Amino acid sequence: MSQGVAIIMSGPSGAGKSTVCHILLKEDQNLSFSVSCTTRQPRAGEQDGVDYHFLSRKEFEKRIAEGDLLEYAEVHGNYYGTLKSAVLDQVQQGKSVLIDIDVQGQRLIRKACENDADLDSASVFVFFAPPSYKDLESRLRGRGTEDEESLNKRLANAKGELEAWSEYDYMLINHKPEQAAAELRAVIDAEKVKVSRVDLEQGWPYV
């Protein structure tokens, strides 16, 4: 029962996923953040295995053919994706893994779960939502990093993402990051001790 869980998180930009993740990662050494893989070249200061797993296009396509991508997409000529082996290796070692992914990526991972019992057993889907759409708009405007056209596009995308909340196992409404972090911590702790995660062939390990 020492197996970890893979927490697949989605939510619109501004919902506060990154802030909540940073809080939990500081508190728990048995919790890690999933590092995506990509075929793009490293930028100045980026480290392989820290910022991304940097793969050649040939290696990435080999991983696709072997079924080692939980999800992937090609953006501006480069592949981006999440390695199944990198996630499950940590889960089987007792670490829980936070995976920040968009709604479409979540759907691809759910599809992958249908044909992979280990992945299905390990996966927990959590949706992050702001207290209200108005609050989300306020947060995004408060960043001051985008022009009006870009901001309106992001807000329009957020409406579509918010409609997907019912596809998830849990929904956290992020009023305050510390409270949302505590709620996510409770989800992880509860999921790790689910009876359904016990290896039925092995049975009760203390007999």
**What integer pLDDT is reported at residue 201 of this predicted model?**
59
CA–CA separation, 131 vs 142, rounded Å?
Answer: 16
> Does 71 reside within a domain?
yes
> Does 204 reside within a domain?
no
CA–CA separation, 48 vs 37, rounded Å?
Answer: 9
Look up the domain containing 124 and give its range.
Answer: 6-193
> Does 198 reside within a domain?
no
> Does 47 reside within a domain?
yes
Q: Which H or E run contains 190?
A: helix 177-192
**What integer pLDDT is reported at residue 202 of this predicted model?**
60
> Does 95 reside within a domain?
yes
Instruction: Write the CATH number for 181.
Output: 3.40.50.300
Kindly report, residue by residue over 33-84, the tens digit of the pLDDT: 999 999 999 999 999 988 899 999 999 999 999 999 999 998 889 999 999 9
Which amino acid is present at 81? G
Kindly report, residue by residue over 160-196, the tens digit of the pLDDT: 899 999 999 999 999 999 999 999 999 999 999 888 7
Kindly report, residue by residue over 82-134, the tens digit of the pLDDT: 999 889 999 999 999 999 998 989 999 999 999 898 899 999 999 999 998 88
How many distinct structural domains can be found in the chain?
1
> Does 110 reside within a domain?
yes
> Does 202 reside within a domain?
no
> Does 205 reside within a domain?
no
Residue 66: CB atoms within 10 A of its CB come to 10
**Residues 154, 146 contacting (CB under 8 angstroms):** yes
| pTM, entire model | 0.85
SS3 112: helix
